[in-house]
Structure 1
Amino acid sequence: MKAMFEYIGIDKTESIKVRHIVQKNIDIPWHFHPEYEIVVILRGAGNVFIGDGMDRYEAGDTLLIGSNVPHVFIDDSHNKEKVDENGIEVVVVQFRSAFFSGFSDLKEFYNVSSLLNKMQCGVKIAGKVENAIATKFCVLAQLSGLKRITEFLHILDLIGSYKNLHLINPIAAASILPNMRSHRILKVIQFMNNNYHHDLKLAQLARLANMETTSFSRYFKHHTRKTFTGYLNELRLSYACKLLIEGSLSVTEICYETGYNSISHFNRQFKRVYNLTPKAYRARFYTQH
């Protein structure tokens, strides 16, 4: 399915657009826009698709989405067991990259610039900080003028300082994370991105990095925060999600296209990560679109 362009319509006299939305469900299709977007979930739950990644969201979560990154929120309104009769309630903040023009290279804006880069992967704020951040955005919706701008910058700086932000799209993350800027690790990641559908082995990647297998295994985990097997599996499943959304291949074809040699193994791995079978994942995406 091709993502639709959405015109946001931020007034030229505005720096950011903040909306407090209460409605029965989320009915915006798979879309993209040049503005950055932050969505605070106050009520409701469902699945969010950002680029090639997918994650679950619920009340208290905050999702951050980069410029021109296709995305869609599919709430649980179609699921009678999970639906909230009160509908959904969100705070949506949207802003242009031009808002930071002339500031992004300043040392004082390091946290904000780093966060904007990570937003291209899709960011989910979870854990102990999620409710505190959600509360701050709710307060932001009540402010205006210079107070709104200064509070907004403070929130972005605060989020940018967090060390363990959850990135939803692992493929986009490969060239963005600060600890993956080493030429050697980027060479390995690029090779994996181009050859994930082949039978890749740890020793093969170690040779590519000109390292011993044991040393490379530690090196890879240090830079990606994942084991080689875990990262490869996540990479394959992320591409599988993309193919499922595009809808042109069968589940069996996608299984082999993404490097799995057993449909049962593919189904188990997919369900372990997404808590859905590939068939159910595709059906959920198309339920409202």
Structure 2
Amino acid sequence: MRPRLEHLSTPADASFRCFVRSDRAFAFEWHYHHDYELTLITRGVGKRFVGDHTASFAAPDLVLIGPDLPHTWLVPAQAGAMQRAIVLQFAPAFFERFAGMPEFAAVRELFARARRGLAFTGTTRTRAGKALQAITRARPAQRLPLALAVLIDLAASDEDNVHELAGPAVDPVSDPAGERRIDQVFRFLSEHARDRISQATVARQAGMTPGAFSRFFKRTTGKTFVAYIQELRIAHACERLIASDDAITDICFASGFANLSNFNRCFRRLKGVSPRAFRDQFRHTGS
């Protein structure tokens, strides 16, 4: 199965992405992206796939993934429980800001090793887990030093607590021509997903007919255009439900939905719970 490219965009007010993923189950979504990703599964039992590596795991599970390395977690639904993960994503430009500093020599080596995927165990995982939980509760201005401290700690980890995942024969995925076109589309959608946009409008941005664009988008992402837009809007709504006390109606319209009933129906279909239950459950966990 060919992995799909996932386009990631860093928020305008931050130097990296930090979010909590909470769903009834984590489906098998074989994908890759150009960013480094640190994932801590805090609730869930399932299988981890990184390159040619496959292994069973139970939370907590801490993994650092390098750019263009295919990966996914498969976590089945469990009655009465939401699966949960904390995710940090760093664009290569983030790393380049610090790469030349002598203090970051160990982090530079860590990121180089991450191109095959690294799993952390033992006391390293325990310390990082507590720090990542703190990052999710911190104000935006406090997150950067906390994230850098996590990376420095991982780089200094005892080798017994660091495990390479993918084999040396695994090559990063590359499709420059297709990636340039879909990157252009993703950039446009990340800026306008909450606006009223049509597939024909985005097709023109990509220099394609609506029919050709529809086939290209489904082949590249594995999703229809409408489904992808809904996921972007629900993801924005989840961030606001977690990070603010805004009224659900306000979040609905700010996320690009035209009416509350459609928002609630779409949210429940993608997240398995209502927006209010999602907010309550997140706060109940102390996150």
| 2:115 counterpart residue number | 120
Q: Is the 8 A contact 1:61 1:131 kept in 2?
A: no
Residues 51-200 of structure 1 aligned to structure 2 (within 5 Å): 51-77=51-77, 83=78, 85-164=80-159, 165-171=162-168
| 1:26 counterpart residue number | 26
1:172 CA drift (Å): 5.7
Q: Is the 8 A contact 2:66 2:117 kept in 1?
A: yes
Amino acid corresponding to residue 89 of structure 1 in structure 2: R
Q: Is the 8 A contact 2:20 2:87 kept in 1?
A: yes
Q: Is the 8 A contact 2:63 2:120 kept in 1?
A: yes
Q: Is the 8 A contact 2:124 2:154 kept in 1?
A: no
| 1:282 counterpart residue number | none
Larger Rg: 1
Q: TM-score, normalised by structure 2?
A: 0.55
Note the alpha carbon deviations across 1:48-75, whole angstroms, 9 max, x for none.
Answer: 1111112222212211111111111111
Report the RMSD for the aligned CA atoms in angstroms. Answer: 2.0
- Aligned length in residues: 169
| 2:8 counterpart residue number | 8
Q: 1:172 to 1:12 in 2, by over 3 A?
A: farther
Where in structure 1 do 4 or more consecutive aligned residues deviate above 4 Å?
Answer: none
| 1:41 counterpart residue number | 41
Note the alpha carbon deviations across 1:18-63, whole angstroms, 9 max, x for none.
Answer: 1112210112510011111111111001111111112222212211
3-state DSSP of counterpart to 2:168? helix
Q: Is the 8 A contact 1:39 1:90 kept in 2?
A: yes
> Structure 1: where are the runs of 5+ without partners?
78-82, 174-289
Note the alpha carbon deviations across 1:151-191, whole angstroms, 9 max, x for none.
Answer: 10011000001132111113269xxxxxxxxxxxxxxxxxx
How many angstroms apart in 2 are the aligned matches of 1:64 and 1:130?
11
